Amino acid sequence: MLSSLKMATNPLKNMMGSKVYHHGKMSAAAMSSFQATQGKTITCKAAVAWAAKTPLDVTDIQVAPPAAGEVRFKVIANALCHTDIYTLDGLDPEGLFPCVLGHEATGIVESVGEGVSSVKVGDPIIPCYTPECQKHDCIFCQSPKTNLCPSIRNTQGKGVMPDGTTRLSKDGKPIYHFMGCSTFAEYAVISEMSAAKINPGADMNTMCLLGCGVSTGWGAVFNNCKVEPNSSTVVFGIGALGLAVIQAAKASGARKIVAVDINSDKFELARKLGATDCVNPMECEGGSATSWLMSQEKWGYDYTFDCTGNVAVMRQALEIAHRGWGESCVIGVAAAGKEISTRPFQLVTGRNWKGTAFGGWKSRTEVPQLVQTVMRGEMDISPFITHTFSGLENVNKSIEALHGGDCLRAVVHIADSPLEPTKLPTLKGNVRCEGGYMKQLSHWSDSCNCEMTFSVFLPDPPSRTGPLPPVLYFLSGLTCTDENARTKAQFAQEAARVGMAVVFPDTSPRGVDIEGQDESYDFGSGAGFYVNATTEKWSKNYQMYDYITKELPQLISNLFPVDGDRVSISGHSMGGHGALVAHLKNPGTYTSVSAFSPICNPTESPWGQKAFTGYLGSVDAGKEYDATELMKSYTGPKPAILIDQGTADGFLEKELLPGKLSAAAAENGYPCEVRMQPLYDHSYYFISTFMREHIDHHARAHGLRPKSNI
């Protein structure tokens, strides 16, 4: 759904990544404060709704420790949703009082109950009102068709935890939970099934929006309707929900997106987010936009969305859907007792009526992916935050703002986050490519002390419930950037076919002020040699070894839909050297290794000697980055190495020296296949010829294809 947000046609599906995060750790003081409350009841502030249609009462309540399978967390920020007001106004048939409202929030895990394994103390989370048990025998969690896991639905609707009791009270009087969340409080308790662990570098004060409305609008487009490119859409109701639908429809490539609302002041933002046309029914004849809408599309619209909760509008949305195949999605929540109706003829003639809950997102699996998509810059949620308030005591002011008519989302900052937000990368490119997306991003590198650029290919996932793809890192050679291999190596078709992500780092720092960095093709810019420089002139920036083995993999795992524990590496020339060295210096890290025309024994190569002398101070110091020298003493796991080398390569005898590595591997008993390819040179024509076989080599190592018996 979020690679550019869709599975196959859902650009959002490629957004998620590994949940093993290594940055954004909490301070010792923050962890100590959580340790002090383990197993104890916490007295804290909460905004209690004692009855319908009354202001919230900010008062002290007691929050009991989490029971088995539960999570207690410190609430950081809460966005006010119309569903909260809907319940407070007494319109919700499941509304129970007294209760603590709030469900669109972020928080930090303070303690966990027995048996909880998916989150731990200190983890950042988004509580989700639609749980996901993830059990293998749950037909709802295992189905790609729905997110409606019923595991705790019965008790959640009764305002209690799965054991039938509440964790909230005021001086001994029980207080009901709301939507399984109750986040208008300093602390809350939820089921583990509702805790979506997110990137600790995320901005907790904005990501709360992904707990309900914005996610719901996106998902209605990407998951429930699967809006296709060049389709026509109409969105009724241009609040936060409707704007999210418009934003997603644009991302899906819809050609016509009509925004319908009785408040014309909303149209400016609607157009900015993607609306092609805007219409106010109150300015149309008879107070209805139907005639105008049908005058624009003779047979109706491919997709229509109701975001109003008005059953009359729901019918209107259905009846302007395209004859034969139009789909109309109900998103807005109607008042208690309301029913929808239409003539059966509307359905007989091919229109489809459907609805969505939380946009169809599987909460624990896919909400972290939504966070990653926002962090990568592929979807912008900042336009939705129109009002901010500091402190829970101002929650009633946020309600007033929402009633004011010009508020999309009011965010209440309840507590300071103990996690520092990460400086986010800049999305430079995001294009469709061979059944996936090719993305280019730049980011600040702490290793290299400068802005670095990389590209990543993300294949479309075969299903919503399948495993995340493994990652192949491809290191390029002298003079290259991240763009050479991605545009010339012809890797994408096979990578998409097997389901493998491919990352292309740059070959050196760029834009730094080092005298002489651009004077030669084989040293300095474009020639970082994948070492950690130690000489004074180069050591501040040229830390390429740490960058490609530590910093970049961490960034990829945290921000992309990949399995950061299943990693392979390859490269060409200088990049082949880097790939071999990265593997040999990090036993067990890489599942598979390959190289094209690698510099195999750089301490004996003029290229290597120049690089090691300049970056490390001596050729002898370069033995630490020499694959042949490292192979001699290597004792770790021995995944087979595949090397292709052209016999017509002009650098073969003087610079590359594959025979030296082959001999060292044979002496060590390491399986290293060096294939001498007749008449091939050092160019990308050579690489592209054999790239498919290298992708296959890595795919088989990861179990994406059966391993060869040969």
Q: Which residues lie across from 82 on neighbouring strands?
A: none
Query: Is the confidence at residue 2, as pLDDT, over 70?
Result: no
Q: Is the pLDDT of residue 6 over 80?
A: no
Question: Domains in the chain, please, with CATH?
Answer: 37-129+152-211+382-413 (3.90.180.10), 213-358 (3.40.50.720), 426-701 (3.40.50.1820)
* Banded pLDDT at 709 (limits 50, 70, 90): low
Mean pLDDT computed over 53-59:
97
Summarize pLDDT for 59-75 with one digit per residue, the tens.
999 999 999 999 999 99
* pLDDT at residue 405 in the model: 83
Mean per-residue pLDDT of the chain: 94
448, burial (CB in 10 Å: exposed 0-12, middle 13-18, buried 19+): buried
Better pLDDT: 706 or 586: 586
Using CA atoms, how far apart are residues 325 and 158, in angstroms rounded to an integer? Answer: 39
Distances (CA, A) of 564 to 18, 22, 386, 473, 639: 6, 11, 36, 11, 18
pLDDT at residue 5 in the model: 46
Contact 327, 225 (CB under 8 A): yes
Looking up tokens 């990090």 gives 586
**Rounded average pLDDT over 483-504:** 97
Q: Would you mind telling me the total number of residues written for the chain in this entry?
A: 710
- What is the C-alpha separation between 451 and 324, in angstroms, rounded? 52
First to last CA, the chain: 39
Query: Does an H or E element contain 453, and which?
Result: strand 450-459
The mean pLDDT value for 461-478 works out to 94
Of the two residues 21 and 596, the one the predictor is more confident about is 596
Which one has a higher pLDDT value, 537 or 95?
Answer: 537
Residues that are catalytic = 81-83, 103-104, 133, 138, 141, 149, 153, 212, 409
pLDDT band at 708 (very low <50, low <70, confident <90, very high): low
Consecutive H or E run containing 553: helix 552-559
- Strand spans (E) along 66-186: 70-79, 99-100, 105-112, 124-127, 168-170, 173-175
- Rounded CA gap, 297 and 295, in Å? 6
Whether 284 shows a pLDDT value over 60: the answer reads yes
Q: What is the pLDDT of residue 362?
A: 97
Amino acid in the structure at residue 323: R
Is it the case that residue 147 has pLDDT exceeding 90? yes
Strands (DSSP E) contained in 391-449 are 409-413, 426-432, 436-445
Residue range 301-312, pLDDT digits in tens: 999 999 999 999
> Is residue 11 very low, low, confident or very high in pLDDT (cuts 50, 70, 90)?
very low
pLDDT at 17 over 60: no
Which pLDDT score, from 0 to 100, does residue 408 have? 94
At 230 the pLDDT is: 98
Percent of the chain exceeding pLDDT 90 equals 90
Tell me what pLDDT residue 104 has: 98
- What integer pLDDT is reported at residue 441 of this predicted model? 98
Residues 6+ apart with CB under 8 A from 136: 142
